[in-house]
Amino acid sequence: MTRPLRVAMIGYGFMGAAHSVGWRQAPRVFGLPAEVEMAVVVGRNGNAVAEAAKQWGWQESATDWREVIARDDIDIVDIVTPGDSHAEIAIAALEAGKHVIVEKPLSNTVAEGEAMADAAARAAERGVKSMVGFTYRRVPAVTLLRDLIAEGKIGRIHRVRASYQQDWLVDPDAPLSWRLQKELAGSGALGDIGAHAIDLTQFVTGQSVDRVSGTIDTIIAERPLADGSGTGAVTVDDIAIFTGRLSGGALASFDASRFATGRKNALSIEVSGEFGALAWNFEDLNSLQYYDRTADSRAQGFAQVLVTEPEHPYVAAWWPAGHMLGYEHGFTHQVVDLVTSIADGTPLHSSFEEGLSVQRVLDAVERSSAAESAWVETRSAVAV
Ligand code: SOE
């Protein structure tokens, strides 16, 4: 590329901070095929977004995203706003010829996701790239998990268990936030963290979740407003538990909750196959657990693979073996892959189509729960 790729980030909350770290680290740690400039961060509150620009190293701040995506000196639009604005901003940016990365989940509804995927396909014909920020795919151990399954290490997949547990809402005094309002977030634990469990399952197995049966529930339905002026209704789920049938025939179990007391950000997946099993959990994110059924029966057991060798995905650019990576490195790796794809024209995941496939699963779980199709009375109501 002749001139630097200039980035506009729309939004500046928790994900805005994480993305900013990625934009700042990637060019300094990886030899990117194009330079990157953190041109402008956009937010509705002029003073607050100016502070964010200063804190995270953006050249400018602005309050009108439409004006920013119309600028000729902007090449990439990074959307880290709540889900209710993903579709409008992403479609406008794609139609303006900008490359787009949008935080997960892709959208708040399947219809919005379909419109976004259509816009992305049209833009791709003009060489415009787009992706959804499922960053856990880019933890080296998760990419390695996917690679080992693709190479047949565990053979035919029989069962998957994917779970994402947090507990930041167990306190009834935790205030109402945008993540608890359906019109802003689209859903609760199901879409915010369940989307990661679904995407991880589809990514590492290479299979789709074709059918689901499940239940979502709201545990605390009323919460104090942040400004102390009263209370407001929680209009999303606090917990989602469901089963899935994968396109390869295996059954998968999923649970996503913000009421898993004591679990702070516990994302985990285990894939069990005919020749062995692979397991990963975010609380030990640099390790992969591998069970090899083809090994000497006297020496079988879950082996801990420390995914910090230079031959492991992304690791060579970082530190010597054994020096660990963290949560923010997935955001750096997604910048590396996006910039490389823009500069070299290489394929890029996860696409808006992949994001739409997750949206379809989320929608199906909500429909299954509403239909109460999962429940069969056991008549085992003995006094216990
Ligand atoms: C909040 O639940 C959250 O920030 C999610 O929105 C992110 O996707 C997850 O990575 C961490 O938790």
Q: How many residues does the chain have?
A: 384
- Alpha carbon distance 345, 332 (integer Å): 19
Instruction: Report the atom number in ligand 1 closest to the C-alpha of 196.
Output: 8
Could you tell me what percent of the chain has a pLDDT over 90?
96
Could you tell me what percent of the chain has a pLDDT over 70?
99
pLDDT tens digits, one per residue of 65-78: 999 999 999 999 99
pLDDT at position 223: 98
In short, whether 7's Cβ falls inside 6 Å of ligand 1 is: no
Alpha helices in the chain (DSSP H): 14-29, 46-56, 65-69, 86-95, 110-124, 140-150, 182-185, 189-192, 194-205, 329-344, 352-371
Instruction: Report the atom number in ligand 1 closest to the C-alpha of 195.
Output: 8
- Compute, in angstroms, the gap from residue 191 CA to the centroid of ligand 1: 10
Q: Is residue 202 a contact partner of residue 194, using CB atoms and an 8 Å limit? A: no
CB atoms within 10 A of CB 175: 14
- Compute, in angstroms, the gap from residue 168 CA to the centroid of ligand 1: 11
pLDDT tens digits, one per residue of 183-238: 999 999 999 999 999 999 999 999 999 999 999 999 999 999 999 999 999 999 99
Pick from 265, 268, 285, 328 the residue to mutate for probing ligand 1's pocket: most ligand atoms within 8 Å of its CB.
265
Instruction: Report the atom number in ligand 1 closest to the C-alpha of 258.
Output: 2
Pick from 14, 137, 328 the residue to mutate for probing ligand 1's pocket: most ligand atoms within 8 Å of its CB.
14
Strand-by-strand arrangement of the 60-62 sheet? 60-62, 36-42, 5-10, 76-79, 99-103, 130-133
> For residues 242-253, b (16+ Cβ closer than 10 Å) or e, as one string?
bbbbbeeebebb
First to last CA, the chain: 70
pLDDT at position 382: 72
More confident residue, 373 or 6: 6
- Alpha carbon distance 246, 361 (integer Å): 11
In short, whether 180's Cβ falls inside 6 Å of ligand 1 is: no
pLDDT tens digits, one per residue of 237-247: 999 999 999 99
pLDDT band at 384 (very low <50, low <70, confident <90, very high): low
pLDDT at position 183: 97
As given in the structure block, the two tokens for residue 376 are: 């069969």
- Compute, in angstroms, the gap from residue 160 CA to the centroid of ligand 1: 22
What values do phi and psi take at 321, rounded to 5? -50, 140
pLDDT band at 305 (very low <50, low <70, confident <90, very high): very high
- Compute, in angstroms, the gap from residue 265 CA to the centroid of ligand 1: 8
- Alpha carbon distance 372, 256 (integer Å): 18
The maximal CA–CA distance of the chain, rounded, in angstroms, is: 75
In short, whether 193's Cβ falls inside 6 Å of ligand 1 is: yes
Q: Which long-range contacts (CB under 8 A, 24 or more apart) does 84-90 make?
A: 84/108, 84/183, 84/184, 84/185, 84/186, 85/10, 86/112, 86/116, 87/112, 87/113, 87/115, 87/116, 89/10, 89/65, 90/116, 90/119, 90/120, 90/130, 90/352
DSSP class of residue 98? -
As given in the structure block, the two tokens for residue 327 are: 């949560």
Predicted TM-score of the model (pTM)? 0.97
pLDDT tens digits, one per residue of 138-149: 999 999 999 999
DSSP run (H or E) holding 36: strand 36-42
- Compute, in angstroms, the gap from residue 263 CA to the centroid of ligand 1: 13
